[in-house]
């Protein structure tokens, strides 16, 4: 049984193929996929997918790229979605200095509010972080994390931070994108992640694997997309980097996913 700990199946770029994808994933052996909302306007689509497909676990959050567009009622709406879906996680949330003209004070405000909500409701959290690792570490030190733990999806931080993040409750997921040659150093970082904190993800429709590993190429408006069945690429990469049989990695990730998400 496979687990995709982070994707965006609600993304409109997948509209032409969504029905086919939703049939293919259970046939592939996907037991659960965590579908992450990123803004108020896509939370209902995530909820709809979870209603129609029992193997979809919803996750609702305000992504750092979306903080400038939030409404005055965004936090109340988020709370309503989470209370209506007791199995839901909080995410995708986070901090990001990579985007053009980031509003870091707003990102921090929204991050703190969502982390507090996750703690109050005892929900796991999915965190996005790009070029803001020092800021994230500071935030995690100064607030009580959710007792359920948190996922650093597509982890791109330094290897020497892993032990401290594990002590704070972190899990780490790898996407098919780490199969690119330019990501070889970051892929090696996953050797330092304990086996009981490893997870696999696709981040579909983003973070596609290299063409040599991509058995399901998709294109939208001349832009290549990541097909959610590329989840198997993530599993293969983790097995290779840890030097373990694929079956053992599958079993470990299943245990880890259920421990974090329920």
Residue pLDDT, tens place only, 118-143: 999 999 999 999 999 999 999 998 88
pLDDT at 145: 72
pLDDT at 32: 98
pLDDT at 142: 86
For residues 238-253, give the mean pLDDT.
Answer: 98
Asked if the model's pLDDT at residue 91 lies above 90, the reply is yes
**Per residue in 36-76, pLDDT tens?**
999 999 999 999 999 999 999 999 999 999 999 999 999 99
pLDDT at 27: 97
- What are the residues facing 58 on neighbouring strands? 35
Burial (0-12, 13-18, 19+ Cβ within 10 Å), 77: middle
Taking the C-alpha atoms of residue 153 and residue 141, their distance in angstroms, rounded to an integer, is: 19
Write down the mean pLDDT value for the chain: 97
Q: Are 249 and 235 in contact (CB under 8 A)?
A: yes
Q: Are 197 and 256 in contact (CB under 8 A)?
A: yes
pLDDT at 159: 95
Asked if the model's pLDDT at residue 222 lies above 80, the reply is yes
pTM value surpassing 0.85: yes
Q: Which domain holds residue 23?
A: 2-261
Number of domains the chain is built from: 1
For residues 80-98, give the mean pLDDT.
Answer: 98
Asked if the model's pLDDT at residue 144 lies above 80, the reply is no
15 phi, psi to nearest 5 deg:
-50, -45
Up-side HSE of residue 206: CA atoms within 13 Å toward CB?
Answer: 10
132 phi, psi to nearest 5 deg:
-140, 35
Taking the C-alpha atoms of residue 217 and residue 196, their distance in angstroms, rounded to an integer, is: 31
% of the chain residues with pLDDT over 70: 100
% of the chain residues with pLDDT over 90: 97
pLDDT at 8: 98
For residues 191-207, give the mean pLDDT.
Answer: 98
CATH number of the domain to which 133 belongs: 3.20.20.140
Kindly report the three-state secondary structure assignment for every residue of 58-96: EEECCCHHHHHHCCCCHHHHHHHHHHHCCCCEEEEEEEE
In this prediction, residue 233 has a pLDDT band, given cuts at 50, 70 and 90, of: very high
Asked if the model's pLDDT at residue 83 lies above 90, the reply is yes
């Amino acid at each position: 049984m496979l687990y995709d700990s982070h994707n965006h199946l609600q993304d409109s770029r997948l509209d032409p193929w969504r029905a086919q994808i939703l049939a293919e994933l259970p046939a592939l052996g996907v037991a659960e996929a965590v579908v992450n909302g990123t803004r108020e306007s896509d939370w209902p689509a995530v909820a709809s997918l979870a209603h129609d497909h029992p193997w979809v676990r919803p996750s609702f959050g305000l992504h750092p790229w979306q903080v400038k567009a939030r409404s005055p009622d965004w936090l109340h709406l988020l709370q309503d979605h989470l209370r209506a879906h007791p199995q839901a996680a909080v995410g995708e949330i986070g901090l990001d200095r990579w985007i053009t003209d980031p509003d870091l004070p707003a990102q921090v405000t929204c991050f703190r509010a969502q982390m507090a909500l996750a703690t109050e409701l005892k929900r796991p959290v999915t965190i996005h972080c790009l070029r803001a690792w020092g800021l994230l570490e500071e935030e995690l030190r100064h607030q009580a994390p959710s007792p359920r733990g948190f996922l650093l999806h597509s982890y791109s931080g330094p290897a020497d931070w892993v032990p401290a993040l594990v002590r704070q409750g972190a899990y780490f997921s790898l996407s098919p994108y780490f199969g690119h040659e330019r990501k070889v150093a970051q892929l090696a970082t996953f050797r330092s992640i304990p086996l009981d904190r490893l997870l696999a993800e696709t981040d579909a429709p983003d973070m596609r694997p290299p063409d040599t590993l991509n058995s399901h190429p998709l294109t939208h408006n001349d832009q290549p997309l990541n097909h959610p069945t590329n989840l198997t690429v993530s599993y293969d990469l983790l097995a290779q980097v840890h030097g373990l049989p694929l079956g053992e990695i599958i079993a470990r990730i299943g245990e880890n996913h259920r421990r974090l998400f329920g």
